[in-house]
Structure 1
Amino acid sequence: MEFILNFLIWSSDPDIFVIPILDHPVRWYGLLFAGGFIVSQQIMFWLFKQEGRPEKDVEKLTVYMVVAVVVGARLGHCLFYNPGFYLSNPIEILKIWEGGLASHGGALGIILAIFLFSKKYPQYPMLWMLDRLVIVVAITGAMIRTGNFFNSEMEGKMTNANYGVVYARFTEDVLRYDDRKVEDVIFLKGGEKVSNTPGIHPITAKIIYQRGVELTAQDKVFFENQLRSALLRYDDVVEHIDFGKDEPLAYKFYQEDNRSVAEIYGLGVSRHAAQLYEAGYCILLMLLFFWLWKEKRFVLPQGFSFALFMTLLWSLRFVDEFFKLNQEAFEEGMTLNMGQLLSIPLVLSGIGMMIYFHQKSKKTMSGEDRKIS
């Protein structure tokens, strides 16, 4: 239990490897994002096969889904979170590679795409499709949120406890200040700093230099001035590791295995792994709705699974937002952040649809009973 409740220092490289010819990195986020669609497509192949539907139709559906998620999520981010900027600079909307996707926009895009798909292929009623898509949407969401964790983005608020995650990736980027000299940067628990505050932990950043590099008095000046200034300048560093704003940088140089080593001491802030919380409940939702499809699809009224999914997913998202740092500056003064405000109408629509589908099913059953009698 002590290990489970202990904090984790997270500094995973978001790049898996670099494609040599293109000199372009393959990133965990991109791989998991694309992997979500691939896994979802394979699941839909299986579902269609089980229900006697042509598997080739899944390929058509996949095109609708990919376009819907990417376009919907991008437009959602631009219009929900920074409409003034993007409407004044519409060309920026196209720069999807710079980041910025909103799951609420992706959800609306999917619903519109399935509406259009069902219009073109009437053999697939919209509600029939949505009742099955909730299974794969959930697993795709889990993979995307895991990608966010690898990217060290969408970090959580302070846990104020011994458990949680200290996000150190941005600090590592600063400490790799010279690729010709620095071979590796690792983070260790403990160090010369002292903390009696729950959720604030002494940690050590260890810079390992290339063989033959000697640290001199000039490096001391660099550490005490330029490097210290850089560590205090960037919010992505300061909000995760405190190196002492009003005091000299705590560090030391020494030799280890015939290499120069520098240790820098700070206090890490343990935060909620809100991305993994969301990934976890998405996996649970996937299992739930797979079970409903397998065991209850002939009992539940059409559309009910989709309505239940909307209610559960966005209710959980509403709660999860309490553990997240706000994504944009304008959210700081708000009682509920934008993610929560966008979730409320989706939850209410889910509840409304559940009531409607249930009442409609009761009336249908009553009408059939009257015919029989």
Structure 2
Amino acid sequence: MFALEIVWDPLKYLDLGFFKLHFYSVMWIVAFVLGFFITKRIYKNENQSEESLDSLFIYSVLGIMLGARLGHVIFYQPDLITEDFFSIFLPFKFKGGFEFTGFQGLASHGAAIAMIISMYLYNKKVLKKTVLWILDRVVVAVALGAMFVRFGNFINSEIIGKYTGTDFGVVFKQLGETAPRHPSQLYEGFAYLVVFFILFYTYWKTKKSEQQGFLFGLFLVLLWSVRFVVEYYKEPQSGEYLSDAIGNVLNNGQILSIPFILIGLYFMFIYKPKTKID
């Protein structure tokens, strides 16, 4: 019988002597850089200025990173607020001794909420169109960026999957394990690549980009449906207090994904814009 068991024991960083370049951080950088060029192409197609694109990049980076960090703390590690508050915003650990850790613990649900807020602020201060006009376009790049973030999780051997109970899977050697697990990070990452292609095709090859809110809604439905399904293959994360509250029928990730899916369906099939797109 065919078996596929991979022992995963990668380097997590390059030691440059004066600095450790973590590959997880590189994945985030790749996500933002590729997102910038994808959005630049879309903005050019929409006859938007490069100055407005530069501002969009700044708002996106700050909003997504801050939201992802706060989302992790609120949804998964609230005890950090009282135990090591400054480590929430700084790439250092202070409890138990000072240590450079980089930014660890980022939640996609928090990033999604912060992206919407940052795009609202960006529109109000810079673009002055509608928030949905912006969201319909930036989600194309965000979907691709999400793939690289999950690849970074795989490199770090974090957000791991459940044991497969077969000869198929990945053995995370750095965790001291010998049995294969589902590579749930890769399941999710490659699924996000499919979401990106669907959004990219829908924007460039269909008229749906003219329906305000449709692409944003499609993004929410596809991306969070992927997240909901892949959660069945993941090990529960720490701080599953939402799951505990409903008898562990669903985990935190699934519970938090449901509102996003419902909002997406609303924008795809119910929402009617009150204002005309410029």
**In 1, distance between residues paired with 2:105 and 2:80?**
13
How does the TM-score come out when normalised to structure 2? 0.87
The one-letter code sitting in structure 2 at the alignment partner of 1:302 is Q
| Residue type of the alignment partner of 2:134 | M
In the aligned structure 2, how far is the partner of 1:303 from the partner of 1:148? 30
Q: Percent identity?
A: 34
Name the structure 2 match of 1:145: 150
Distance 2:74 2:216 in 1: 25
More strand by share: 1
1:355 equivalent among 265, 269, 272: 269
Partner residue of 1:155? 160
Is the aligned partner of 1:305 residue 2:200?
no
Question: Kindly tell me: are residues 301 and 145 of structure 1, through their superposed partners in 2, closer, same or farther at Cα, counting changes over 3 Å?
Answer: same
Report how far residue 53 of structure 1 moved. Answer: 1.6
Give the match's secondary structure for 1:148. helix
1:164 shift after superposition: 0.7
Residue aligning to 2:11: 13
Verify: 1:80 aligned to 2:75, yes or no. Answer: yes
Secondary structure of residue in 2 paired with 1:8? strand
Alignment pair present for 1:288 and 2:198:
yes
1:19-50 C-alpha deviation (Å, 9 max, x unpaired)? 23x1x211110111111101111111111122
Q: Which residue of 1 aligns with 2:29?
A: 34
| 1:12-161 mapped onto 2 (5 Å cutoff) | 12-15=10-13, 17-20=14-17, 22=18, 24-87=19-82, 89-96=84-91, 97=102, 99-161=104-166
1:318 and 2:232 aligned: no
Q: Deviations over 1:43-100 (max 9, x none)?
A: 1111112222212321110000000111000110111112244146432322342511
User: What one-letter code is carried by the residue in structure 2 that aligns with 1:128?
Assistant: W
1:341 to 2:252 alignment: no
Whole-angstrom distance in 1 between the partners of 2:82 and 2:256: 20
Output the CA distance in 2 between the equivalents of 1:352 and 1:140: 24
The CA RMSD over aligned residues, in Å, is: 2.1
1:273 to 166, 183, 194: 183
Aligned-pair distance for 1:330?
A: 4.3
Give the TM-score normalised by the residue count of structure 1.
0.66
- Counterpart of 1:159 in structure 2: which amino acid? T
Q: CA deviation at 1:329?
A: 5.6
| Unpaired runs of at least 5, structure 2 | 92-101
Structure 1 Cα separation of the partners of residues 90 and 62 of structure 2: 15
Superposition misfits of 4+ residues, deviation over 6 angstroms = none
- Residues 297 and 19 (structure 1), Cα distance of their counterparts in 2 relative to 1, 3 Å cut: farther
Task: Report the Cα offset of residue 299 of structure 1.
Answer: 6.3
Q: What's the offset of the Cα at 1:312?
A: 1.3
